Amino acid sequence: MPDRFIDPAVQRPVTLKSIAKQLGVSVTTVARSLKDGHKISAETVRLVRETAEDLGYVRNLDGLRLRTGRTMSILAFLGASADDEIGDADSVGILAGIHRRLAGTDYTVRAVPVIPGVDILPELANAVRMRQADGVIIDHTRPQDERVDYLRESGMPFVTFGRTDTSTDHAFFDLDNHDAAFKSTRSLIDLGYKRIAIIGSDPSFRFVQDRLEGYRHALTAARLPFDPALALNVERQPRLIRAATSRLVAEARPDAFLCENELYLIPTIAGVRDAGAKPLDDYGFSLRSTNNLAEYLALRVTSAHYSRESAGWNLADLLLRQIGGAAPKCLQTIAKTDLRHFNL
């Protein structure tokens, strides 16, 4: 049986020239039809693409790499949870969005999981030196981020998921975490809660700082005092979050909880239950969410929602545009979340 990538009639690789010969059109017409259809009729584009598919045409990416000097790949260094009790689908959603944006282009993505506490700068620097990709995506930014400094100096196109103190100089996609935390906190206040705890990860991350500011802003707007005892930062491990929340309930007596995401919400609920101070459904909960998990909890929950797949699509789009020559300063996006209510 002939290889499906070979024209059975001639047993040779299918080329633009062989497609053009079969259809009686020019090679330029075939090339444009397979690329973007520029100045080619819709009917001709359809015919060329159908013929290419029937013949098993596959674009020669090796030749493209040689002609352009590009690898036709991007690297995505994405945060991953080291825990296997609950899991963390954030990076999966982001990757799905990246793949969706790359569909129809010649680009592929290689994902590198980043475990909390592990320094990825050596691996990142090696990837840049070895020209393993045409661009890089990184997440979990800090105000002063050495990865950003390195990439800027290297000249490698890159996009961050999150802002830094030098964001004016580089491309980024970010959520408005200040606004998300403000809306979530205000939603709990509107439900009658007054001692709202905020639970999140490493305070050196920019988004954690933004969330704390939004939380405090909402308290101030409602004329409620900020109590430092209600601000809890704990490593992204469910067992630690659960234990810390249980202690928090006993010591600070919160009546509601603003959680960083789903990975924090579930162990927070468990910790509140462990403390046993009062019935679980007396408490309020809010989070920044990427799914509708809260819909399946028999608790009062509000969430500031944004699709991780949409975030991945935007990150890949910004990076492709930068690789194509757009200035980084013109590639900066801040997205708002949507407030959702469950079981109220």
Whether residue 77 is found in the same domain as residue 154: yes
- Position 69 scores a pLDDT of 65
Whether residue 212 is found in the same domain as residue 322: no
Task: Give the other-Cβ count within 10 Å of 155's Cβ.
Answer: 8
- The tally of domains found in the chain comes to 3
- Position 126 scores a pLDDT of 94
Please say whether the beta carbons of 339 and 302 come within 8 A.
Answer: yes
CA 91 to each of CA 278, 309, 312: distance values in angstroms, whole numbers, following the listed order: 36, 9, 9
Whether residue 80 is found in the same domain as residue 54: no
Please say whether the beta carbons of 81 and 263 come within 8 A.
Answer: yes
Residue 2 is assigned to a structural domain of this protein: no
Whether residue 319 is found in the same domain as residue 254: no
The ranges of the chain with pLDDT < 50 are 1-10
Q: Which of 5, 37, 59 is the last residue of a domain?
A: 59
Whether residue 169 is found in the same domain as residue 202: no
* Pair of tokens at residue 281: 């459904």
Whether residue 255 is found in the same domain as residue 192: yes
How does pLDDT run across 11-23, given as a tens digit for each residue? 567 888 888 888 9
Please say whether the beta carbons of 303 and 294 come within 8 A.
Answer: yes
Residue 98 is assigned to a structural domain of this protein: yes
Q: Which of 283, 229, 224 is nearest to 251 (CA)?
A: 229
Q: Which of 265, 261, 257 is nearest to 289 (CA)?
A: 261
Q: Which of 222, 267, 231 is nearest to 85 (CA)?
A: 267
Whether residue 136 is found in the same domain as residue 41: no
Within the chain, residue ranges assigned H as helices are: 16-23, 27-35, 42-55, 61-68, 90-102, 121-129, 146-154, 177-190, 206-221, 238-252, 262-275, 308-323
- Position 7 scores a pLDDT of 46
- For residue 320, the domain's CATH number is 3.40.50.2300
Q: Which of 114, 117, 140 is nearest to 127 (CA)?
A: 114
Whether residue 22 is found in the same domain as residue 99: no
Residue 221 is assigned to a structural domain of this protein: yes
CA distance 343 to 299: 6
- Position 341 scores a pLDDT of 92
- Position 92 scores a pLDDT of 86
Residue 341 is assigned to a structural domain of this protein: no
Whether residue 255 is found in the same domain as residue 146: no
- Position 333 scores a pLDDT of 97
3-class state of residue 283 by DSSP: coil
Whether residue 289 is found in the same domain as residue 221: yes
Query: At residue 120, what is the residue type?
Result: I
- Position 61 scores a pLDDT of 60
* Pair of tokens at residue 327: 């200035």
Q: What angle do CA 281, 285, 290 make, to 5 degrees?
A: 130
3-class state of residue 191 by DSSP: coil
- Position 10 scores a pLDDT of 46
Whether residue 132 is found in the same domain as residue 189: no
Residue 344 is assigned to a structural domain of this protein: no
Residue 4 is assigned to a structural domain of this protein: no
Q: How far is CA 311 from the centre of its chain?
A: 5
Residue 105 is assigned to a structural domain of this protein: yes
- Position 268 scores a pLDDT of 97
Residue 9 is assigned to a structural domain of this protein: no
**Which residue range is the domain that position 49 belongs to?**
16-59
- Position 155 scores a pLDDT of 93
Whether residue 23 is found in the same domain as residue 102: no
- Position 4 scores a pLDDT of 43
